[in-house]
Structure 1
Amino acid sequence: MAPLNQAIRVERRVDSDCVYTGTVDEEWSVGVVPNGGYILALIIQACITHQSTTTLPSPLHVSAHYLQPTQPAPFEVHIRIIKPGRNFINIHAELMQAGRTCVLTHLIFGNVPPRVGLGPLVPVNSGFARPYPLSAFHPSSVNLPGGLTALPPGYQFEDQMHWAEDPAIRVLNHTPHANGGFARWGAWIELTDKDTVITTASLALIADTTLSMGFLYPTHVTGAVEGDTWLPTLTLSIEYKAPIPASGRYSKRTVGVYVRSGYLSEPQGRHNTIVEIWTAPADIGDGGEVRKGWADEQVCLAVATQMG
């Protein structure tokens, strides 16, 4: 069991330039199955390592299809360049265990300078920009531990991560017509190990560690059995919108997430979930000063979509 930065570590296999190895950490599981976002983080980390010495080191888009459950055991990521280019490169990567292909991914890499994206192309004060989606509760003002929300049952990494939910968003899920047919959820999500920082690869775990409509809507609406609302991830896509800022005005281990989840359908109550991942101005409950206009300073780091 290891903090996230250590748990997604990979190494290049000595006899191949395109195969990376590691071990799936059992702690980053839901029940006995490793979290799908954690598994995708392993693949992304392998591809980032592979591209780190090239002119196109930055992941722009990732699309994953989960074919078989993974196990807490050694793995290999096999990388193949599909289409190289001057501005973009398309990569195919497979995570394999014991000779089985468990996850297929297609990734697009480019070159995003570190300071690009620290402000939206559409100015915040224009009235046309995407506003910061959480309500006005600041992470530093959360009371600890009372302001934290327990992770759902079965999350084995509850000691490595905690949440502070946005109550103004969740309460709307029990009011008919309030959300236009979407369940909504917002929270500050924080890695508890103070030496661990959120990275480009680990955003994949964040994207798959949220609540969706199966948890959020009343059971008489979804038809679900209480406590039996988790579904395995079938597909997960991430579009990276901005690099993680290095500025001290942002937390290194906390992000804000905003979730919309809907389109409940057969078979097996499948639904689509959209997750926006934003910077956070401070750690949860740090008691620091709340700057005026802090919400307008936040940056959308990634937008993820999945079918679960």
Structure 2
Amino acid sequence: MLFSQAVAVHFDRILDDETRVYMGTVDPFWTIGSVPHGGYLLGCILEAVIHSQSTTGQPDPIHLSSHFLAASRPGAYEIRISRVRTGRQFSNLIAHFFQNNQINITSHVIVGTLAPAVMTNDRSCLTIIPPHPFAIRTPFRQHPSMSDPDQLPSILAFRSQLRASFDRIVEERSHAKANAPQEGNGCFDYGAWYEILGEDKGSRLSMPAVAFLADLGRNAPGILPKCDRPISPWYPTLTLAIEFKVKLSSLPACTAPRTFGVFSTGRFIHQGRHDAQAEIWTAPCAIGEKRKRELGSGTEEWRDKMLCVAIARQMALTSTVGVNKRLAREQAPCQTRGNRAAHL
């Protein structure tokens, strides 16, 4: 099932306390191993929030902060959205993701109106994006037209709907720091271009798709030298917060509609628990798109035009694929025990 179809929800009812209830189905295709991917589940929540806010003056999710409390599984779900506070510029919502009358995910959402991707000189509402001299430049160094698709791990059930290419320059820099840790800054970083396949060619990826990409960043334990990496790892997410920067419909024509870069960074690992940060950047073209190779791919010019559309930060654990499979077996007939949503 296409991603846009897999996150689809429909309005069901309003409860006595004005909580709005949306229904949907977790697609078994969008899993890691046997457990639904955490970013995909947040995409379902965002889709419900967007539907709920569509008739208001604050239609856009600005910030989403989620805690994964129990395991989710393929099958029916409810998302219950209640309003905590209404403000002039921002309002606060709570969205609970239910399966079998149990809260699996709880999310706090700030909604408002996202600004278009346009720089402004208004100091009271400052926006610093390219071409402002102080704007952060994309950390990606390898033009996606010069990239060849990489093979994704077999644990990703959805790999046939996703094309990926790792930025070799960033990868080499990361390996150099791993080989000389005393000279580095203590960060583990990685960059990859991702393209979600199968969607309409004329449409841009949606905000729920950006949430999915935000949970595809490489985890710090997986960037360590091979001799130090966990064996058969699985990285379940405990918390994930995403801030959305710009309205996707306002992105310039020089950016690809369904390809984005995910630049991930990690700093600390304690007892397998680790932090992970991700920046989601626009791409100048699709992966390996030959006709764009003459449009700045051999220069640095393209890097000055890319925009960061979202940033994410999470806390994750280090587990094994065996635990992933065991959890799926235990909750096969019905969900009786919990674990966090999956993460790459």
When the two structures are superposed, what TM-score results if normalisation uses the length of structure 2? 0.81
| Cα distance change on mapping 1:297 and 1:102 into 2, 3 Å | same
| Cα distance change on mapping 1:306 and 1:57 into 2, 3 Å | same
From 199, 210, 216, give the equivalent of 1:203. Answer: 210
- Cα-Cα RMSD: 2.1
From 52, 56, 59, give the equivalent of 1:57. Answer: 59
| Cα distance change on mapping 1:246 and 1:156 into 2, 3 Å | same
User: SS at the partner of 2:208?
Assistant: coil
Residue type of the alignment partner of 2:241: S
Q: Give 1:218's aligned residue.
A: 225
From 78, 84, 87, give the equivalent of 1:85. Answer: 87
From 295, 298, 301, give the equivalent of 2:306. Answer: 298
Native 8 Å contact 1:274 1:304 kept in 2:
yes
Quote the Cα distance in structure 1 between the aligned partners of 2:60 and 2:120.
16
Q: How much has 1:115 moved relative to structure 2?
A: 4.6
Q: Give 1:270's aligned residue.
A: 273
Q: Give 1:237's aligned residue.
A: 241
| Cα distance change on mapping 1:252 and 1:118 into 2, 3 Å | farther
User: SS at the partner of 2:89?
Assistant: coil
Q: Give 1:160's aligned residue.
A: 161
Q: How much has 1:198 moved relative to structure 2?
A: 1.4
Identify unmatched segments of 5+ residues in structure 2. 317-344
Does residue 39 (structure 1) correspond to residue 66 (structure 2)? The answer is no
Native 8 Å contact 2:69 2:103 kept in 1:
yes
Does residue 307 (structure 1) correspond to residue 315 (structure 2)? The answer is yes
Native 8 Å contact 1:26 1:72 kept in 2:
yes
User: What's the CA shift string for 1:103-145, capped at 9, x where partnerless?
Assistant: 000000011244546999336466532111011x211222xxx
Looking at secondary structure, tell me which structure has more helix per residue. 2
Q: How much has 1:10 moved relative to structure 2?
A: 0.5
Quote the Cα distance in structure 1 between the aligned partners of 2:187 and 2:195.
25
User: SS at the partner of 2:65?
Assistant: strand
Q: Give 2:284's aligned residue.
A: 281
Quote the Cα distance in structure 2 between the aligned partners of 1:238 and 1:256.
16
| Cα distance change on mapping 1:121 and 1:179 into 2, 3 Å | farther
Q: How much has 1:220 moved relative to structure 2?
A: 3.6
| Cα distance change on mapping 1:283 and 1:64 into 2, 3 Å | same
Identity across matched positions, percent: 32
Residue type of the alignment partner of 2:210: L
Q: Give 2:264's aligned residue.
A: 259
Q: Give 1:8's aligned residue.
A: 7
Q: How much has 1:197 moved relative to structure 2?
A: 3.8
| Cα distance change on mapping 1:94 and 1:194 into 2, 3 Å | closer
Native 8 Å contact 1:191 1:197 kept in 2:
no
* Higher alpha-carbon Rg: 2
Q: Give 1:121's aligned residue.
A: 127
Q: How much has 1:294 moved relative to structure 2?
A: 1.5
Native 8 Å contact 2:114 2:245 kept in 1:
no
Does residue 186 (structure 1) correspond to residue 194 (structure 2)? The answer is no
From 29, 32, 45, give the equivalent of 2:31. Answer: 29
User: What's the CA shift string for 1:151-186, capped at 9, x where partnerless?
Assistant: 223100010101110011122233223641111100
Identify unmatched segments of 5+ residues in structure 1. none
Quote the Cα distance in structure 1 between the aligned partners of 2:53 and 2:118.
19
Aligned length: 297
Residue type of the alignment partner of 2:228: V
| Cα distance change on mapping 1:151 and 1:55 into 2, 3 Å | same
Does residue 139 (structure 1) correspond to residue 144 (structure 2)? The answer is yes
Quote the Cα distance in structure 2 between the aligned partners of 1:68 and 1:9.
22
Quote the Cα distance in structure 1 between the aligned partners of 2:120 and 2:45.
26
| Cα distance change on mapping 1:121 and 1:291 into 2, 3 Å | farther
Residue type of the alignment partner of 1:281: P
Residue type of the alignment partner of 2:190: W
Native 8 Å contact 2:96 2:105 kept in 1:
yes
